[in-house]
């Protein structure tokens, strides 16, 4: 297998049905797939009995066909964890982290439409990058692929074509946050204007279904009066109708291909109460929607790149109710978006969900890439920080963040040894987090090439950082 100028990734060495597969790096920093044996379908150049193939989409598709554990599948109700990768280089580190534990199923290809637009990547590129990264690091278990935060039916098409298995519907644009505090008279007007035909019910049926019919969940009961019912219907009625439309489109397009659905109302201004969660789940179930996980808007603040902000006792009290509702109407998993770095609430979530949980992370892996830059290319990191400070007020617009720019020191005031410490500081983390699109626009090729030259450092940082995220949800260390 050896070739001059080529270094084989030992963890990638795989033998199946008499054919050996491996990934290798050239001295110039490129990567190649090696195939010794049956190489039908692959495109490459043969040397000394080995076909060396570029990491193209076409070759990735054949690898997924040959090594079927690299093909995305449905993960069901297993505890699961989404590893967003904005750069396409993080999967080896993600694999190394999740390989340490039992009982956590990974999604290595997870990217939202918004993030793809900012990174300039396609759903197919995201999936292929995850395939090569998982292969490089020797992953052998099931994995999923998440088409994240889909807002329109048309947005699904590229993910369906690429072979994704997990579809996150985001009907947040159809949630009426004004209903959270509106007076009853205003709520009545909003309820009357709901798309009742799409909801396949009426206001009278709604009242008959919910009023004076408490839902007994053991330790507590969910009850509705007219105010609570109208508030839930006005706030989420259009979002429910939109979700059903999206689901039916997905069913039609997927045909016989299996898929899983997540419903997400987390990116809204107001929390989802237990009554509202009940209303959403009951309505979706009545409309024939089948889902594996649901992300309410929890109380408190789930800001990007930092720990949970809020009252932990209040969060636990509410979460326990959400978990009971998910069990009663499913069971299905509670999903936690903006889930990275929420270390204070991981034990609470793990305890009350009893494994029925999905956690999503994305930007935290990008921040570890910047930590690597602070270590290996401090002058480059200073340029990134300077640009992030310039772009923060503009780029923060679509994110829930509260960082104050004047609390992030300019790079010229910092010694090289202090640069990495910014990645542990609240305001700096958020400023660096939400400006990734601007950084990639200006420095993308330079950032990627620097990371590729120091891939072991990046993988090691990711492994350490993501282990902290995974350990509260795992069933224990994996015996190797």
User: Could you tell me how far CA 199 lies from the centroid of its own chain?
Assistant: 29
Tell me, what's the pLDDT at 92? 98
pLDDT greater than 80 at residue 385: yes
Half-sphere exposure of 411 (CA within 13 A, CB side): 18
**Residue-by-residue DSSP string for 396-422:** GGGS-----GGGS--GGGS-HHHHGGG
Give the mean pLDDT of 269-273: 96
Residue of 359, 306, 336 whose CA lies nearest to 83: 359
Domain parsing of the chain, residue ranges: 6-66, 179-225
| Residue 192: exposure state from Cβ atoms within 10 A (0-12, 13-18, ≥19) | exposed
Give the mean pLDDT of 210-233: 94
pLDDT band at 398; cut points 50, 70, 90: confident
Q: Supply the pTM of this predicted model.
A: 0.96
Query: Of all helices (H) and strands (E), which one includes residue 238?
Result: helix 226-254
pLDDT one-digit tens code per residue, 18-73: 999 999 999 888 999 999 999 999 999 999 999 999 999 999 999 999 999 999 99
**What percentage of the chain has pLDDT greater than the value 90?**
94
Relative orientation angle of helices 312-329 and 274-286, to the nearest 10 degrees: 20
CB 265 within 8 A of CB 280: yes
Calpha distance 210→200 (Å, rounded): 16
Give the mean pLDDT of 379-398: 96
Average pLDDT, the chain: 96
pLDDT greater than 90 at residue 302: yes
Tell me, what's the pLDDT at 400? 86
pLDDT one-digit tens code per residue, 146-178: 999 999 999 999 999 999 999 999 999 999 999
- Active-site residue list: 148, 262
pLDDT band at 320; cut points 50, 70, 90: very high
pLDDT one-digit tens code per residue, 69-88: 999 999 999 999 999 999 99
pLDDT greater than 80 at residue 1: no
Tell me, what's the pLDDT at 179? 97
Tell me, what's the pLDDT at 479? 47
Query: Contacts for 406-411 with beta carbons within 8 Å, 24 or more apart?
Result: 410/385, 410/386, 411/381, 411/382, 411/385, 411/386
Could you tell me whether strands 333-336 and 293-295 are parallel, antiparallel, or unpaired per DSSP bridges? parallel
């Amino acid at each position: 297998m050896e070739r001059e100028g080529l270094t084989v990734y030992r963890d990638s060495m795989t033998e199946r049905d008499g054919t050996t597969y491996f990934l290798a790096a050239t001295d110039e920093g490129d990567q190649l797939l090696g195939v010794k044996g049956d190489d039908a379908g692959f495109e490459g150049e043969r040397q000394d009995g080995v076909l060396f193939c570029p990491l193209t989409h076409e070759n990735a598709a054949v690898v997924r066909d040959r090594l079927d554990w690299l093909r995305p599948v449905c993960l069901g109700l297993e505890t699961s964890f989404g590893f967003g990768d904005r750069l396409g280089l993080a999967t080896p580190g993600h694999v190394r982290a999740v390989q340490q534990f039992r009982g956590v199923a990974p999604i290595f290809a997870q990217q939202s439409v918004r993030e793809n637009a900012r990174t300039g990547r396609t759903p197919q590129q995201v999936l292929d990058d995850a395939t090569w990264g998982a292969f490089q690091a020797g992953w052998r278990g099931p994995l999923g692929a998440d088409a994240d935060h889909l807002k329109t039916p048309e947005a699904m098409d590229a993910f369906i074509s690429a072979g994704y298995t997990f579809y996150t519907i985001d009907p947040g644009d159809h949630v009426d946050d004004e209903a959270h505090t509106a007076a009853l008279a205003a709520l009545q007007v909003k309820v009357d204007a709901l798309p009742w035909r799409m909801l396949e019910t009426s206001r009278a049926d709604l009242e008959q279904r919910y009023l004076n019919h408490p839902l007994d969940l053991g330790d507590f009961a969910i009850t509705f009066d007219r105010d609570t019912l109208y508030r839930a219907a006005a706030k989420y009625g259009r979002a429910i109708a939109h979700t059903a439309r999206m689901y039916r489109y997905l069913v039609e397009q997927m045909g016989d291909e299996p898929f899983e659905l997540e419903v997400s109302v987390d990116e809204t201004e107001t929390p989802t109460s237990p009554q509202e969660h009940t209303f959403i789940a009951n309505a979706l179930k009545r409309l024939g929607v089948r889902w594996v996980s649901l992300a309410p808007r929890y109380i408190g603040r789930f800001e990007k790149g930092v720990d949970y902000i809020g009252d932990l006792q209040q969060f636990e009290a509410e979460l326990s109710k959400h978990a009971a509702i998910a069990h009663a109407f499913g069971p299905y998993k509670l999903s936690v978006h903006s889930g990275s770095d929420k270390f204070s609430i991981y034990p609470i979530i793990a305890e009350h969900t009893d494994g029925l949980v999905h956690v999503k992370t994305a930007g935290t892996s990008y921040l570890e890439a910047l930590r690597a830059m602070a270590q290996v290319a401090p002058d480059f990191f200073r340029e990134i920080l300077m640009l992030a400070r310039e772009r923060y007020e503009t780029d923060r617009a679509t994110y829930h963040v509260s960082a104050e720019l004047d609390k992030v020191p300019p790079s010229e005031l910092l010694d090289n040894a202090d640069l990495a410490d910014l990645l542990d500081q609240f305001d700096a983390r958020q400023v660096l987090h939400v400006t990734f699109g601007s950084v990639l626009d200006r420095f993308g090729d330079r950032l990627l090439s620097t990371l590729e030259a120091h891939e072991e450092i990046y993988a090691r940082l990711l492994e350490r950082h993501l282990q902290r995220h995974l350990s509260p949800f795992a069933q224990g260390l994996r015996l190797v």
